[in-house]
Amino acid sequence: MRTRGTLLDENRRLRREVEDLKLRLLQLNDVAGEARRLGAAVRHAAPPAGRIRAVDVVYADQASWLRTLIIYTGGVETKISQPVLSANGLVGRVVTVAGPYAKVQLLTDRAAGVGAMIVRTRRQGIVRGRGRGSATLELDFVPIQAEVRPGDVVQTAGIDGVYPRGIPIGTVTAVAQGGQLFHRIELAPAVDFSALDQVYLLDFAPAPSDLPEAPAP
């Protein structure tokens, strides 16, 4: 007869397996989307997404303007600006490393920003957090001429030198004209930031922001 402790351990194991499968599905969905979009293209090279490692959340600060998590990495190499995911989408990035611990800046932090793309139209912009008191995100710098609808899915665009392309960020919930040039767009995050007890570090090597010029012939 299985004890309560055994059942709890089995429940945790099954939950982690489900989350691992969700992460793999995210990667497969992005690959399938690229295949459909490229159609008959003969050649296409994309940067590798890298390896994913599960780590535990040991502290969450969601009450202040600086929305952060503390994660226990166990001393495994962790880098500044390393992407952090959940099974449902993008959580944020590593901003501090101290021994076996690291601090993660959440997307909901008002100082956070990520290059983003509306999947339906491929239109790009910048997703920002709103800080304390808000669980929503903003998508900035999308021109008013661009078509945006509630329900549009937003993913990472892979253009900011931090995050690879294709990680879910959120869904458009409201669109309004924010000024003469850009929409004001509100997003519901793909991730429930109040229910994170485990996250995933993504080993991702972004493209260099500057390349040396070829010598003159």
- Strands of 29-100, DSSP E: 52-61, 68-72, 83-85, 90-98
C-alpha distances in Å from residue 26, one per residue of 60, 97, 165 = 25, 27, 11
pLDDT(32) > 60: no
11 in a structural domain: no
The strand pairing partners of 201, in sequence order, are: 53, 84
Q: Do 136 and 81 belong together in one domain?
A: no
pLDDT(102) > 70: yes
Which of 36-50, 64-78, 185-199 bottoms out in mean pLDDT, i.e. has the lowest? 36-50
162 in a structural domain: yes
pLDDT band for position 24 (50/70/90)? low
How many domains does the structure of the chain reveal? 2
pLDDT tens readout for residues 108-124? 998 999 999 999 999 99
Residue 142 corresponds to which amino acid? V
pLDDT(141) > 70: yes
Find the domain containing 158 and state its range. Answer: 113-190
pTM for the whole thing?
0.76
Q: Do 152 and 166 belong together in one domain?
A: yes
CA 196 to chain centre: 14
pLDDT(133) > 90: no
Q: What percent of the chain has pLDDT over 90?
A: 50
pLDDT tens readout for residues 51-79? 888 899 999 886 666 689 999 998 788 99
Handedness of CA 156, 161, 164, 165 (dihedral sign): positive
97 in a structural domain: yes
Q: Do 121 and 103 belong together in one domain?
A: no
CB contact at 8 A, 154 and 136: no
CATH code where residue 174 lies: 2.40.10.350
C-alpha distances in Å from residue 46, one per residue of 57, 111, 141, 166 = 31, 29, 25, 11
